[in-house]
Amino acid sequence: NRGLELAKEAEKTDENWKDWDLPFIYEALARAHAVAGNKSECKKYVETAQKAIDGIAEKGDRDVCQGELDKVKC
């Protein structure tokens, strides 16, 4: 699954991430695992994304990230 490969690469990349970048990477990993049928991995990344979202400083950014994460169905 190319989406899963790309999301894993992004997770490993050491960039100057904004506080909302990692939640989107984890959300992408959750989606990729959902598509691949990896329910437990999907749930793991949903939980990881949620923790990252909870740490976002600005409410507007949190809301955008949360809205996308809420669409992920494991």
Whole-number pLDDT of residue 30: 95
Q: What confidence score (pLDDT) does residue 14 get?
A: 62
pTM comes to 0.80
b (16+ CB within 10 A) / e for 27-47: bbbbbbbbeeebeebbebbbe
Q: How far apart are the first and last CA of the chain?
A: 16
Query: Phi and psi of 15, rounded to 5°?
Result: -115, 175
At 21 the pLDDT is 84
pLDDT tens-digit profile, the chain (74 residues): 666 676 677 666 666 667 788 899 899 999 999 999 999 999 999 999 999 999 999 999 999 999 999 999 99
